[in-house]
Structure 1
Amino acid sequence: MQRTIPPFLIAVICVLLAMITIQSGASIAKQLFPVIGPEGTTALRLGFSAIILCLVFRPWRAFPAFGQRMPIIIYGLSLGGMNILFYYAIERIPIGIGVALEFTGPLAVALLSSRKKRDLFWVACAVTGIVLLLPDINSQQRLDPVGVILALGAGACWAGYILFGKKTGNHGSGGMTVAMGMSVAAIVLVPYGAASQGMALLSWEVIPLGLLVGVMSSALPYTLEMIALRNMPAQGFSIMMSIEPAIAAMAGFMILGELLSIWQWLAILLVITASVGSSMSATKSS
């Protein structure tokens, strides 16, 4: 008798694979920085991702009317800002720390929308984690302060991505919305990357890696996340995604050899705890 895999287990596997691919893609992208910089890497990622998503979801079938396009535009600009600021950040700080700081964006959206006093504990966990990651000028392992600010800026863009993503929800499917937003981001940042890096973007040594980054950082994980959301509750999905900073730190160590101190690991754990706690709190209130 043939056994079938339970849908929930399929969802868990898809979420884990999505997080692994997106953070591995970020680690590969960081290897391109010495050749084409964060600007060129962002241009290749967004450009290839937009092409793939548009071919798959064909967003022109549900293109909003002229007066309803502003949420899509802001959504796309938030997506683009999140990408390039994150790449600028991890040029200066380890990927795991960058992701933990970037997580403050969606975490702030979740916590600010809650009015429960017990959620103040999760706020305290998040703030403590961020304080532990702030640059210490007397430490040999101090973080670049500009990198920290850029990662927090990426988190702010992630918050905008979430808020305006909800406002664009009635324009076709979620896939179409992301394809339109990715296209907006590509229209703005691909010319910027091209102007910054020039013909280096067309090198045959760079293009395959750029395509790989686009697939691993956007197209593949988004497809896996869509499969997961069809087979598990949204709040369970959010709780699982909360471990992404730890996966990012492991990817940075395995691919780039980035080592973190015990205090930095503790800070990442506190951010993860805050994210899991806020997701569980939202589950109980729904």
Structure 2
Amino acid sequence: MSPNLPADAADQTDAGSLDGLHAGSHRRPNVPAPLIFMLEGTIQYVGAGLAVGLFALFAPMTVAWMRSIIAGILLMAWRRPWGKRALSWKGYAWSCAFGVALVAMNTTFYEAIARLPLGTTVSIEFLGPVIFAAIGIPGIKGKLSVLVAFSGVVLISGFGLDLGDSRQLVGLIWALVAGGLWVAYMALGRKVAVLGRGLDSLAIAVLFGSFLQLPFAIPEIPAVFRAPEAIALAIAMSVCSSFIPYVLEQVVLRGVKAPLFALLSALLPVTSLLVGLLMLRQIPTPAELGGLVLVSLAVAMTYRRS
């Protein structure tokens, strides 16, 4: 906290130094939001790569709890939203609601990818943000950009479901629910961001969410503490998958409206394609390259006009 300033003013200064915005401001961050999204996506997928080793040791829900609890502790230690920096009761309530949406979104997403390919799940889940963006972005050009973005995501990931397979059908349901919860996450994230204490609210939300995940992780917690190398890997995973991406999303949410944020989410599948090419030597197909072009076009159409 900055010296010689009241807590609220210091919080505004700290937040402003991070994202170039004064607390409560609705101006865009100094760095264009699409670039922030690309950076976020890259870091997230590096974190996903780190998580692969942990999935071999623990159940996915235990790994999810490790991710949340570590990120929550780091954020709380950084922001310290108590004492003179405490939020109002309304602020705490919105933060906890945000945490519920965050945990529910992640949980349903894990259930979906347990039954469906990751790319397919991402495409289906993106239906939620697409509908949200289509409703919230005005004008024919805005609606067209949403359709173009969704077409690009489908080309990148594809569907290819066999609904006669009960496992895939259940996975489809989980993915659709995850898409709806993604909308709730974006809307609540925007709410806490524009209240002016977005990063403090984020810290509370992530830690609160980790408490909700705790019952699923309890059976394996003793094994976690007997594996210091796993804890080290989990810290790296949490920083890449949660701490940095969540902070970057708060930066974006304070500068753009939620429907545009929803459309910008289409950049995440694009980022996964690029990371796969650069890190895993996975050569994209012509359809995937076409999807990359469509998503980029949609983001350019909407971001420049908004």
Q: TM-score, normalised by structure 1?
A: 0.73
User: 180-189 or 46-55: which moved more?
Assistant: 180-189
Instruction: Label 1:261 to 1:15 Cα distance change in 2 as closer, same or farther (>3 A).
Output: closer
Among 125, 147, 162, which residue is 1:137 paired with?
162
Aligned 8 A contact 1:96 1:246 in 2: no
Deviation at 1:215, TM superposition (A): 0.5
1:213 aligns with 2:237: yes
Q: Distance in 2 between matches of 1:251 and 1:28?
A: 14
Aligned 8 A contact 1:126 1:270 in 2: yes
SS in structure 2 at match of 1:137 = coil
Deviation at 1:185, TM superposition (A): 0.8
Question: What's the counterpart of residue 4 of structure 1?
Answer: none
Deviation at 1:274, TM superposition (A): 4.5
SS in structure 1 at match of 2:228 = coil
Among 180, 190, 215, which residue is 1:191 paired with?
215
Instruction: Label 1:249 to 1:116 Cα distance change in 2 as closer, same or farther (>3 A).
Output: same
Mapping of residues 66-145 of structure 1, within 5 Å: 69-126=92-149, 128=151, 133-137=158-162, 144-145=168-169
Write the letter of the residue equivalent to 2:242: S
SS in structure 2 at match of 1:35 = coil
Deviation at 1:190, TM superposition (A): 2.6
Question: What's the counterpart of residue 75 of structure 2?
Answer: 53
User: 123-132 or 78-87: which moved more?
Assistant: 123-132
Deviation at 1:211, TM superposition (A): 1.0
Aligned 8 A contact 2:95 2:192 in 1: yes
Instruction: Label 1:156 to 1:37 Cα distance change in 2 as closer, same or farther (>3 A).
Output: same
Instruction: Label 1:225 to 1:164 Cα distance change in 2 as closer, same or farther (>3 A).
Output: closer
Question: What's the counterpart of residue 27 of structure 1?
Answer: 49
Q: For this pair of structures, how many residues does the alignment match?
A: 267
SS in structure 1 at match of 2:140 = coil
What residue ranges of structure 2 are gaps of 5+ in the alignment? 1-19, 21-27
Percent of counterpart pairs with the same letter? 27
User: 176-185 or 21-30: which moved more?
Assistant: 21-30
What residue ranges of structure 1 are gaps of 5+ in the alignment? 1-6
Write the letter of the residue equivalent to 1:11: V
Instruction: Label 1:161 to 1:224 Cα distance change in 2 as closer, same or farther (>3 A).
Output: closer
Question: What's the counterpart of residue 88 of structure 2?
Answer: 64
Structure with the greater relative contact order (CA < 8 A, sep ≥ 6): 1 or 2? 1
Instruction: Label 1:190 to 1:270 Cα distance change in 2 as closer, same or farther (>3 A).
Output: farther
Write the letter of the residue equivalent to 1:218: S
Deviation at 1:92, TM superposition (A): 4.2
